[in-house]
Amino acid sequence: MKTIQAIVLLFLALQVRAQIEVKLPRETKLLDCQGIEFANAETLQAGQAVRLTDYYEGYFTASINGKSGYIYYPYLDGIEGLDSFKSEHQKANTGLKIETCRLQQMKKKYGEKAGILAYQGKPWIGMGAGIAIDLFGHPKSKNTTQTAGYKGEQWVYADRNLYFDNGVLTAIQESK
């Protein structure tokens, strides 16, 4: 009986939560969560309006022009009102123990341990630049040092800087 009550309460909570329409600040992918390489992801252009209906574990559920999918939260950085929307939906989803398709994809793509770290959005020394893009999206800017046989890059994000030597993460600087 308690299980049925919990399901009904969860259903009701999901029905009354707010939705928000936003304009995309940059080019973004609408992920279908079908494949590890996101082969069926649709590219959305900066300035397009998207309706966000939920947030769970780093992803917004989104719909645009009759299509729905998922947008990774770093791609929506800086949108006014988004933090409160995210917070409201996070609280409503607290306690849900669902292994999302994103976690499954990360484990498949990077292995068990690295996949869990990637899913949690935790960078680690030694990871490749491609993983950083999966975790945080493209940086706001890059600073590059090129010498014979060496390429050093500083990737600048709103809350951290990542430092790569020849495509491998060697340092993490976080802003607090």
- The CATH number assigned to the domain with range 2-97 reads 2.30.30
pLDDT at 40: 63
pLDDT at 129: 92
Residue 15: band (very low, low, confident or very high) from pLDDT cuts 50, 70, 90: very low
Per the DSSP assignment, residues forming a β-bridge with 67 are: 64
CA distance 132 to 51: 26
Residue 117: band (very low, low, confident or very high) from pLDDT cuts 50, 70, 90: confident
**CATH 2.30.30 in the chain, residues?**
2-97
pLDDT at 173: 94
Distances in Å between the alpha carbon of 45 and those of 30, 33, 64, 75?
Answer: 10, 19, 12, 12
Residue 11: band (very low, low, confident or very high) from pLDDT cuts 50, 70, 90: very low
CA distance 53 to 55: 7
pLDDT tens-digit map of 38-87: 556 788 898 999 988 888 777 888 888 888 788 888 888 888 888 888 88
pLDDT at 9: 47
Contact assessment for residue 30 and residue 44, using Cβ atoms and an 8 Å cutoff? yes
pLDDT at residue 166 greater than cutoff 90: yes
